[in-house]
Structure 1
């Protein structure tokens, strides 16, 4: 199952808050897809410091798509 958070129309810090809340309940094997209009430097720092696997793709419309997976135990 993939959890999708579309933060493109949200004001900061709401996208970050929603992603952090969803990370707390992300199950093993689940993927989170996050859509934003900017490169999320604070989020990436949090993901890296907590061992999450992530990949960022810049879509044709300028959207930054992040795919995030829970770290393995």
Structure 2
């Protein structure tokens, strides 16, 4: 599942991401695309036991692959 958060102002990208993660089953992956690196999201993901990788895109956005 891909969630494009570009163009949204904080905290909307984080809230959308966390709400979508709640709907996923353990082991499923969510890919998000953000305008900026989601520094505050990482702590929440750690608390939830999720794993994630962050990849910068050529356009300056970031792709974060999150596995629940």
Normalising to structure 1: TM-score of the pair?
0.84
Higher Cα radius of gyration: 1
Cα displacement (A) at 1:13: 1.3
1: CA distance between counterparts of 2:36 and 2:7? Answer: 11
* Structure 2: runs of 5+ lacking an equivalent: none
The within-5 A match list for 1:1-73 is 3-70=1-68
Root mean square deviation, CA, Å: 1.1
Cα displacement (A) at 1:32: 0.4
Normalising to structure 2: TM-score of the pair?
0.90
Other structure's SS at 1:44 match: helix
Question: What are the superposed Cα offsets for residues 11-35 of structure 1, whole Å, 9 maximum, x if unpaired?
Answer: 2211111101011111233210110
Other structure's SS at 1:43 match: helix
* Structure 1: runs of 5+ lacking an equivalent: none
Residues matched between the structures, number = 68
